[in-house]
Chain A
Amino acid sequence: MKAPSDSVAPKTAAEAGEILARCDRAGEKVSIVGGATLRGMGFPPERSDINLSTKRLSGVVANEQADLTVAARAGTPIQSLTALLSTQGQFIPFDAPRPQYATVGGTLAAGWLGPRRHLYGRLRDYLIGSTIVLADGTIARAGGMVVKNVSGYDMSRFYVGSFGTLGIIVQANFKTVPLPKHARLFLARLPERTRARVCAQLQTLPMRPAAAFWIDGFHKAVDGDDGAEGRVAVLLEGSEMLLERATRELRSALGRAGVPETRVLDAGARESFQRVVDAYVACLGERSVTYRIASLPHSCEPNAQRANELARRFEMRAETIVDVLNGDIIVRVSDLDARALGAKIEAFDDALHEIEPRAQVIASDHPNRIYLRVWGESPPAIAQMQALKARFDPNRTLNPGRFVGGI
């Protein structure tokens, strides 16, 4: 891998198209950069001649408040879009880590899966239209500014999670939803013996929380406390009356499961939630690797336990965030320093994939990261995916090698 020789930041889709067309003809490889907050997901591009940044492709281009739709250019920071929408009483559940840097385009390209999708749906289901620049410079639009649209293939959703290997998302049109008026965060110590019961209770609450986590080892991120036990953190969102009832139900459910006491946070509830999301991809210098293991809600607790035990066997520290409503397991394994981690991470990676074939690396600054099974086992339809790449980007101009299966 050589260092990028050049950086460009086009201001328009047309400019981006010209750059790509030129590179595509010249055989130059282009890596695409948004806020670089999720650069630890996937492989680094195997070669990069040009760094294309979306930072000047920024800003909201349409905002129909009454229609609950908004269109933003790729480089728009999530935080500024979210701030604009919140003044209108609306939101889109991006749930992206470090939203002050994360961009609309990057978050979509990474197919980021936020914790609140259990309640509000996936980010891709808010996308109603898009403008894409393909490797050959073609500028293509899909969808529009209406909330329902079945005109041909849903090309907008198609690019979500494609890691810039099919084209560059230069504009995204979204539908929005009303911002829940109130938010409340519950925090409690979670003794190990109550963990399974707590997870089960959280999954069967009559009133669905916006997010519910079992957190182990990320205490500082959550409440500034370095206590030894795990935590349960539950975010409730909705009307005041709904929160009152949800509070009662949650308290009694946690009580039944043996959680001794609960701290309730109204002010700063969403900020605390954001700190948990930030922790998903936070690295401990070069001495950590963070995995995401997609599990099912019912099996996430034992699966997370198993991954933790494995890390202990390798004498590594394991920290965990388990999203008990979606079944996502985030495990950050770390050692004393980069060398200590480097000595065992590949063996750990093998062992982890024995029990969790689909585990993916989502964050690490360790140089050995590229030797890990970053994407987990290949998906069953990898042949179709490779064929799509070949049809959209035959010269492998865009982010070559960044994606699954060598794409």
Chain B
Amino acid sequence: MLRERLIAALGSDAVKTEPEDLAVYSFDAYTDGGRPVAVVLPKSTQEVSAVVKIARDCGEPIVARGAGTGLCGGAVPTAGGVIVSLMRMNRILELDLRNRRVRVQPGLMNLDLSRQVAPEGLFYAPDPSSQQISTIGGNIATNAGGPHCLSYGTTVNHVLGLEVVDDAGEVFVTSIEDAGYDLTAALVGSEGTLGLVTSAWLRLLALPEAVRVWVAAFDGMDAASEAVSAIIAAGIVPTALEMMDAVIIGAVEAAFHAGYPTDAAALLLVESAGFEEDVAASEEAIHAIVKQHGAHYWKSAHTLAERNALWAGRKGAAGATGRIAPNYYTQDVCVPRSKLPQALRAVEAAARINRITVGNVFHAGDGNLHPLLMYDKSDARQVAAVVETGNVILESAIELGGTISGEHGIGWEKRDAMTRVYSTADLAVMGRVRDVFDPRRMLNPEKIFPSGARCPEVTPP
């Protein structure tokens, strides 16, 4: 019945129900999986709307899906249902150069957007590390960040308006210029639980005239962390301020020969972009600060090729850990920037106690840690140790005044950790928003909101 109706609405090439097809859509980049009853690949807003109506009639939940690069199981159909893959809706719909904005479909790759507007001297600022494969829709669902959100802000700062299919299959639109509640801000980061975004107006920025990237190496993570705080405290906001530890430096050098000094215990990758005058002044100031904090190595990249080489190491860091262990798990926590040294020590201690190799590569400027816990998933001891280490890191971030996710989201993985940072009342208030947009809890169920007794899944009056 479901299958027939979906095929009637979308055509047989857009509906998948064979076990081998469903298997492909059972996972995202998180470890746990689920099993959908069907996968559909709509090509238009009308088709998305039709799918939601059919699923609703048949009592099936809906899970919207982009490229499936999410790290927290946000696109995993844990409660079954219909997966709506938005990958065929990947076009730029309108490019308004004079007002520097663009309307895109959700399946457009993040990097494709910047590539397509580059000839006009523009770019789209949010750049999660997955940007070569992840989609705008997925980025909106998780309010994705990336190295450059230090100065440009996360996805929500760049979304001007949305077209959304609601839980009943009806279409509504939002704009940050509209009178009324800021529904755009409420929807960004809601992980597919309030509606399915079918197009988005995005803000574009002018490409900077000057970009420089510097690498500074230190003898310890503490010194590097303090340099990070000192740079920010000096009134400099680089466009990116990333840190790597010795484990990552070693892995990256072996894989990419990025040109990092292999004897360093910590490395800062700093980028400044803007006007020639400011970038040059930043170089001088940052160089002085890192020297004061004991940097023993400094390299400046001016040309695009040199910059790309330095960035290649950072962007490929997670993949490079494959040389150390077959699997890795990325934790994502954010702490106040000045608490970085303590947070890093807590990571190191947790990994040591649980006998897990950890590599740190993260957005230091934002205080956003991404410890990579390396393991072999065929070894049960290691799997248990990774889970335990991840939890300890989460706890220590909370104790330092931090949060359970800086940019990856809550999804399936961290939903029970929500009770560690929010009271039952706080979560019930979020639940009120859910009540309005998805009273039957059919849009990406079992995500964000904790399971069990403290679950705020109240029924609306």
Contacts and interface: CB of A to CB of B under 8 A. Distances in A.
Interface in A375-407: 375-376, 378-385, 387-388, 391-392, 394, 403-405, 407
B179 A66 contact: no
B209 A152 contact: no
Contacts of A245: 275, 277
Contacts of A391: 432-433, 435-436, 460
A68 B461 contact: no
Given A146-B336, A380-B172, A381-B180, A151 B403 contact: yes
A209 B459 CA distance: 50
A384 B179 CA distance: 13
A138 B431 CA distance: 13
B28 interface: no
Contact of B188 (A68, A154, A407): A154
B406 A149 contact: yes
A242 B275 contact: yes
A122 B244 CA distance: 32
A146 B406 CA distance: 8
Interface residues of B, number: 81
Contacts of A317: none
Given A145-B336, A154-B143, A391-B460, A358 B235 contact: no
B215 interface: no
Given A138-B425, A177-B237, A206-B209, A381 B277 contact: no
B99 A297 contact: yes
A327 B413 CA distance: 43
Contacts of B422: 141-142, 151-152
B460 A150 contact: no
Contacts of A241: 277-278, 281
B425 A139 contact: yes
A242 B279 CA distance: 10
A381 B178 contact: yes
A153 interface: yes
Interface stretch (A50-58, A156-164, A182-190, A305-313): A156-164
A381 B172 contact: yes
Contacts of A125: 153, 156-157
Contact of A157 (B156, B425, B435): B156
Q: How large is the interface on A (under 10, 10 to 19, 20 to 34, 35 or more residues)?
A: 35 or more
Contacts of B363: 148
A327 B182 CA distance: 19
Contact of A154 (B185, B335, B434, B461): B185
Contacts of B427: 152
Interface string B145-159: 100010001101100
A372 interface: no
Given A242-B275, A391-B435, A392-B432, A157 B186 contact: yes
A260 B418 CA distance: 61
Contacts of A294: 177
B153 A121 contact: yes
Contacts of A370: none
Residue among B99, B143, B174, B181 facing the most chain A CB atoms (10 A cut-off): B181
A379 B436 contact: no
B236 interface: yes
A8 interface: no
B277 A239 contact: yes
B281 A178 contact: no
Contacts of B429: 132, 134, 138, 140, 142, 155
A384 B436 CA distance: 7
A147 interface: yes
B277 A154 contact: no
B117 to A, nearest CB: 16
Contacts of A404: 179-180
A315 interface: no
A68 B426 contact: no
Report the 10 A-B pairs with minimum CB-CB distance, sorted nearest first. Answer: A178-B235, A379-B178, A157-B185, A241-B277, A148-B406, A298-B98, A140-B429, A146-B334, A379-B180, A67-B336
Given A153-B430, A382-B180, 18 more contacts: A67-B338, A121-B157, A125-B156, A125-B157, A141-B422, A146-B367, A148-B363, A149-B334, A151-B421, A152-B418, A154-B186, A245-B275, A327-B99, A375-B179, A376-B179, A381-B178, A385-B180, A394-B461
24 contacts: A68-B337, A122-B157, A140-B429, A146-B335, A147-B337, A148-B368, A154-B189, A155-B430, A158-B185, A160-B182, A177-B237, A178-B235, A178-B237, A181-B235, A241-B277, A298-B99, A358-B177, A358-B178, A383-B172, A384-B436, A387-B436, A391-B433, A394-B461, A403-B180
